């Protein structure tokens, strides 16, 4: 297993930009910033990678339990205090791999503790107390077949008279079962390495994508309305999920990406060697790390896209920019209680106005 990358220098570059941005610098890098932002947004590579990580996190959560501390069930796996007569569910964290409910309404279902098996017990799993270490995930990509959005896509009979035939449910498989077929390896794959942190995914994730192919619906969640674009990525991947990662739905801090490879969209490739950030809790937020130093990371600034706001954060602070207008400016309150303060609109300036003053153009 390759060692985890050290992303601290990149994180420090975001936190402490060192460049002083001028019109000469922007004239050199503005077109590249605009193109990179467009390619990242259009490729949807962020969503593809985070979906894999979130799925792994969910699987780990489903397989995680604690142990009873004290009482008649001391040391047994649990998920709540009711599982521990005379004690509490507060002992060490354990990961239960391969647990299956025996009996009860969830008979045969996956489980991590008896509480996952109403009227039954969780048995047969391998219990890993205080799990740590690293593991590898191999995700076969969905490919470009537009049929993948159909509910019965790639289901086939396993066993019985119709073994291997397409099916919608078990009724189509006499004496067999209808199961999801294996994804096609020709669609490419994402191979990621992750660490375990408190039985969850650790903050640094790294690996490669090997010509991972996926569809990008133009509108909605499938290709029926306006069709799909064909996306792909081939290259290296490194992410820092931040200190408080839980899952995509609950996340509130930026995820830092480093990509070095080729983004593909409808047959056209774009070479990317870039670090950028997204905040999955904020709509349309993208922060690109612009590195103009030699050696790398010795002179950097951040270009930020946030909803209708664009701007630069450099060694002097934050100021607004417009790549389309090819100029940068500062906005401050004129008059009122916040006179002289930085603002984005009049709402930031009680009893005053938010005025724009051009800094430079290129």
For residue range 64-81, list pLDDT tens digits in order: 888 899 999 998 888 889
Given this model, what pLDDT does residue 298 score? 97
Higher pLDDT, 257 or 116: 257
Tell me what the mean pLDDT of segment 147-155 comes to: 81
Residues β-bridged to residue 89: 68
Q: Encode pLDDT of 165-207 as tens digits.
A: 888 888 999 988 888 877 789 999 999 999 887 667 889 999 9
Q: What does the alpha-carbon distance between residue 173 and residue 100 come to, in Å, rounded to a whole number?
A: 24
Given this model, what pLDDT does residue 197 score? 76
Tell me what the mean pLDDT of segment 339-345 comes to: 88
Given this model, what pLDDT does residue 226 score? 86
Higher pLDDT, 19 or 183: 19
Higher pLDDT, 336 or 60: 336
Q: Encode pLDDT of 272-322 as tens digits.
A: 999 999 987 667 799 999 999 999 999 999 999 988 789 999 999 999 999
Tell me what the mean pLDDT of segment 45-50 comes to: 92
CB of 257 closer than 8 Å to CB of 277: yes
Q: What does the alpha-carbon distance between residue 294 and residue 119 come to, in Å, rounded to a whole number?
A: 65
Given this model, what pLDDT does residue 125 score? 82
Q: What does the alpha-carbon distance between residue 76 and residue 69 come to, in Å, rounded to a whole number?
A: 9
Tell me what the mean pLDDT of segment 75-95 comes to: 87
Given this model, what pLDDT does residue 245 score? 65
Given this model, what pLDDT does residue 303 score? 98
Given this model, what pLDDT does residue 253 score? 67
Q: What does the alpha-carbon distance between residue 309 and residue 282 come to, in Å, rounded to a whole number?
A: 13
Residues β-bridged to residue 320: 311, 329
| H-assigned helices in the chain | 8-15, 23-43, 45-62
Q: Encode pLDDT of 218-250 as tens digits.
A: 888 888 888 999 999 999 999 999 877 655 555
- Rounded mean pLDDT of the chain? 90
Side-chain half-sphere exposure of 87, counting CA atoms within 13 A: 19
Given this model, what pLDDT does residue 69 score? 92
The answer to whether residue 266 scores a pLDDT higher than 60 is: yes
Domain ranges of the chain: 1-62+133-143+185-293, 63-129, 144-183
Say what the pTM is: 0.83
Given this model, what pLDDT does residue 246 score? 58
Higher pLDDT, 19 or 119: 19
Q: Encode pLDDT of 252-265 as tens digits.
A: 568 999 999 999 99
Range with the poorest average pLDDT among 35-49, 123-137, 324-338: 123-137
Residue whose structure tokens are 């521990």? 84
Range with the poorest average pLDDT among 15-19, 82-86, 197-201: 197-201
The sign of the CA dihedral 32, 36, 37, 38 is: positive
Dihedral (C-alpha) 194, 44, 273, 145: value to the nearest 10 degrees? 90
Given this model, what pLDDT does residue 115 score? 84
Given this model, what pLDDT does residue 336 score? 96
Q: Provide the percentage of residues in the chain whose pLDDT is more than 70.
A: 96
């Amino acid at each position: 297993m390759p060692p985890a990358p050290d992303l601290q220098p990149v994180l420090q570059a975001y936190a402490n930009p060192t460049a002083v941005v001028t019109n000469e610098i922007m004239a050199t890098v503005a077109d590249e910033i605009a193109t990179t932002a467009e390619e990242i947004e259009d490729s949807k590579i962020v969503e593809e990678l985070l979906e894999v990580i979130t799925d792994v996190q969910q699987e780990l959560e489903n397989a995680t339990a604690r142990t009873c501390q004290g009482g008649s069930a001391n040391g047994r796996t649990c998920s709540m205090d009711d599982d521990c007569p005379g004690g509490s569910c507060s002992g060490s964290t354990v990961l239960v791999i391969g647990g299956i409910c025996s009996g009860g309404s969830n008979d045969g279902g996956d489980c991590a503790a008896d509480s996952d098996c109403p009227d039954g017990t969780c048995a047969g799993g391998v219990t890993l107390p205080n799990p740590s270490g690293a593991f590898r995930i191999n995700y076969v990509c969905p490919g470009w077949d537009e049929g993948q959005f159909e509910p019965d896509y790639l289901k086939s009979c396993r066993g019985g008279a119709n073994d291997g035939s397409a099916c919608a449910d078990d009724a189509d498989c006499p004496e067999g079962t209808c199961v999801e077929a294996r994804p096609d390896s020709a669609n490419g794959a994402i191979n990621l390495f992750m660490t375990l942190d408190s039985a969850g995914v650790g903050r640094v994730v790294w690996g490669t994508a090997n010509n991972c192919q996926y569809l990008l619906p133009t509108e909605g969640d499938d290709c029926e309305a306006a069709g799909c674009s064909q996306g792909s990525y081939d290259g290296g991947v490194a992410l820092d999920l931040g200190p408080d990662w839980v899952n995509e739905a609950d996340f509130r801090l930026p995820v830092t990406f480093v990509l070095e490879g080729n983004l593909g969209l409808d047959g056209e490739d774009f070479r990317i060697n870039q670090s950028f950030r997204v905040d999955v809790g904020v709509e349309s937020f993208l922060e690109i790390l612009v590195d103009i130093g030699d050696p790398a990371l010795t002179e950097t600034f951040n270009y930020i896209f946030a909803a209708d706001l664009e701007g630069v954060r450099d060694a002097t602070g934050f100021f607004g920019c417009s790549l389309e207008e090819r100029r940068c400016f500062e906005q401050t309150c004129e008059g009122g209680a916040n006179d002289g303060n930085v603002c984005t609109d009049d709402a930031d300036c009680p009893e005053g106005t938010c005025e724009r003053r051009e800094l430079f153009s290129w």
